[in-house]
Amino acid sequence: MNCAQIKEQLVDFLYDELPASLRAAFAEHLRGCPGCSAEVATYQRTLGQARAALAGPLLQEPPARARLAVLAAARTAARSARKAEGPGFFARFWRTPWLLPAFGAVSVATVVFLVRVLKNPEVIPGRWRQSVEEIAPATPQPIAQPPTAQPAAETAAAAKGGDKEVEVAGIGRVAKASGHKGKATGGMMASKAEAPTSESARKRKDLGFDPLSGSLRGNATAGGSAPSRFAEPPPPRAAAKASREIDDLMGSFDTERKATPPAPTETKQPTAKKSSAGREKDTLSLDEFAGAPEPAAQAARPSAPSYAPAGAAAAPAPQPATRPAKMRQAEVAAEAATDSASEPSFDGKAKEKADKGGSKDAPSLDEGIRKADRLFAAADWTAAAAAYRDLLRRFGNHKDAPKWRDRMNQSLVAEEESRKLQTPKATKAAKVKTTDDVLKGEK
Amino acid sequence: MARYQKGDVDAFAELVSRHEKRLWNFVRRFVADSATAEDLLQEVFLRVVRSAAEWHPSAKFSTWLLTIARNLCTDQARRGALRKADSLDQTPGARGDDSGPHRIDKVASPDGNAERAAMDREIALRVDQAVEELPVEQREVFLMREMMDLSFAEIATATGASEPTVKSRMRYALERLRSALVELHDQNGPAAVEVTP
């Protein structure tokens, strides 16, 4: 290390910041160089004297005024910072100017909503509605409409969905299914019903679904069984199909009766059996819709069980396949005469009324329908036929006229069959006698 | 400082107590005018208060404080408002809050030796005058090192200069001081150079 390097490293040497190697070289040079050694010594003395002066006589205490002013400013700043942060969240929330109006509006809206819901739970869909109904079960419900007013398809669909409650319509409560959310519409249900599965058919049967009338029977229908429910049913598909079958059967029967001589009983038997089966179903549903208790209904129509007994086929004597028209006319006349004598249970007054038809005290349409249905359900075939005939005469253009006609025909057939079964011998005798008389007269 | 950022005024008072004396002497030596130095000292701490939110814990507070003070003092010097420093023989009460016949007279002699006390007084007068006459760059480096006890690296950071530059300025400042005190050296004899190999 030379003298120039000693000057360059002087500050580091004075402040003891030289690395150890350089410090050793620096000291070695000072030992061999009196000039550098003296110069370094003067620097060391100057630095010592300056330090002594700065730390001793020149050292002064800071003025107290500055300190006080600074601390006051610091306190003010801290206070200002706290004010700038403002009050807490809740304090600011409660000072919000729009809080009170908003709270009032929400309260009013809530009250209005609750009042509306309690008055009419229908406004709430799905599970909410269910809970509200539990809260307010005493909500007055309108009287249930006739079950037949609800399309059978909807009922079937509701049954298919496993519904626990089926409330028939008019009040908008179609079905409340555990799996549904109240979204099912009549259209959807109808589409389901149009393609029924075996499962749905079973459930329909459980619910008392009558395919002939397209309606429910039994406890599955709400609101009991008022006689008026049977009035004015829309012709459902199943019922229409059954009606068409009966039409065909009866049409063929009538045609056979009119165009050809009376067929042998054996030839008519399948037809009678078939039609009686359909009528059996129809009768059951009618009984229950008419509100008549099942046993009473069974007792009131003693001929119904014997309508098509197994032995009935063998009972009537076989008749010739072809007979003269006059013979048939004579038979009909004899049957008519027998009717008047062999129907002690016939309600004469009702028949009179039914026969009178358009008399002044004739029943109204509803009463007439109700009466006819009741008589039909009670298996009072003669009176029922007269009642339906009266309805057809008075209201021939009614939409249910085909049905009335069917039932009239059914009543006539049933009447004839029952008469044959009840008094087969008398009828036979009458027929023989009549035939003999005719033959005698011809001779 | 972190506590003061959360609103603890006592923490700030503690900071002031810790740094105000050294900072005051630095400012006082830098501007040489006690009134200006007092204003500057107050302004330094007020800037700390106003900029408290900007301080980051990773920064060393003393360096940050000295940087503020140095900037204020440098601005003061560059505006040309640097008044001539009070001389040690200025009558008290003329400026500032200095009291007593002379500031140097306040220096007490520890051992009661009058001759030694007179020499110390003379040395203090010369040092005080020599520091006041140092160029600003040399003065700030000398005062930062001697009054604030900062390393050359920290001084370089505070001044924005490189460390060799800072050391060079320090060497020039020492050279000026040595020139101012050389006569006293002659009177008292050269100080022995203590070199440890």
pLDDT digits (tens, 9 = 90+) for A226-265: 444 444 444 445 555 555 655 565 555 555 555 444 444 4
For chain B, domain boundaries? 1-83, 101-189
More confident residue, A195 or A333: A333
Q: What is the pLDDT at residue A295?
A: 42
B89-118 residue pLDDT tens = 444 444 444 443 344 444 444 555 677 777
Q: Give the ipTM of the model, two decimals please.
A: 0.73
Buried b (16+ CB within 10 A) or exposed e, B92-104: beeebebeeebbb
Length of chain B: 197
Distance of CA B171 to the CA centre of its chain: 17
Judged by CB atoms closer than 8 Å, whether chains meet at A70 and B42 is answered as: yes
Give pTM, 2 decimals: 0.40
Spell out which residues of chain A touch residue B145, defining contact as CB-CB under 8 Å. 15
Place of tokens 């070289």: A25
Judged by CB atoms closer than 8 Å, whether chains meet at B97 and A63 is answered as: yes
- Give dist(CA A73, CA B51) in Å, integer: 13
Buried b (16+ CB within 10 A) or exposed e, A82-106: eeeeeeeeeeeeeeeeeeeeeeeee
B103 close to A (CB below 8 A): yes
Q: What angle do CA B171, B176, B180 make, to 5 degrees?
A: 145
Which residues have C-beta within 8 Å of that of residue A282, sequence separation ≥ 6? Answer: A210, A212, A213, A242
For chain A, domain boundaries? 3-55, 69-140, 147-232, 261-443
Q: Which helix (H) or strand (E) holds A210?
A: strand A209-210
Q: Does the pLDDT of residue A364 top 50, yes or no? A: yes
Q: What is the pLDDT at residue A192?
A: 42
Q: Does the pLDDT of residue B6 top 50, yes or no? A: yes
- Give dist(CA A354, CA A382) in Å, integer: 11
Length of chain A: 443
More confident residue, A249 or A11: A11
Judged by CB atoms closer than 8 Å, whether chains meet at B13 and A71 is answered as: yes
Q: Which residue in B65, B68, B81, B67 sits closest to B31, CA to CA?
A: B81
Q: What is the pLDDT at residue A121?
A: 67
CATH architecture of the domain covering B101-189: Orthogonal Bundle (1.10)
Judged by CB atoms closer than 8 Å, whether chains meet at A52 and B123 is answered as: yes
The nearest alpha carbon in chain A to B194 belongs to A41
Judged by CB atoms closer than 8 Å, whether chains meet at A24 and B197 is answered as: yes
CATH architecture of the domain covering B1-83: Orthogonal Bundle (1.10)
Spell out which residues of chain A touch residue B186, defining contact as CB-CB under 8 Å. none
What residue spans of A56-197 are helical by DSSP H? 64-85, 89-94, 99-119, 126-135, 152-160, 186-194
Q: Does the pLDDT of residue A438 top 70, yes or no? A: no
The nearest alpha carbon in chain A to B47 belongs to A70
Q: Which of A8, A9, A11, A82 to mutate to test the interface with B (most CBs of B within 10 A)?
A: A11
Are the C-beta atoms of A30 and A36 separated by less than 8 Å? yes
The nearest alpha carbon in chain A to B4 belongs to A78
3-state secondary structure of A384: helix
Tokens for B121? 């007084």
Mean pLDDT of chain A: 62
Q: Which residue in A332, A336, A320 sits closest to A438, CA to CA?
A: A332
Q: What is the pLDDT at residue B162?
A: 92
Which residues have C-beta within 8 Å of that of residue A330, sequence separation ≥ 6? Answer: A434, A435, A437, A438
B116 close to A (CB below 8 A): no
Are the C-beta atoms of A317 and A428 separated by less than 8 Å? yes
Are the C-beta atoms of A6 and A31 separated by less than 8 Å? no
Judged by CB atoms closer than 8 Å, whether chains meet at A41 and B167 is answered as: no
End-to-end alpha-carbon separation of chain A, Å? 178
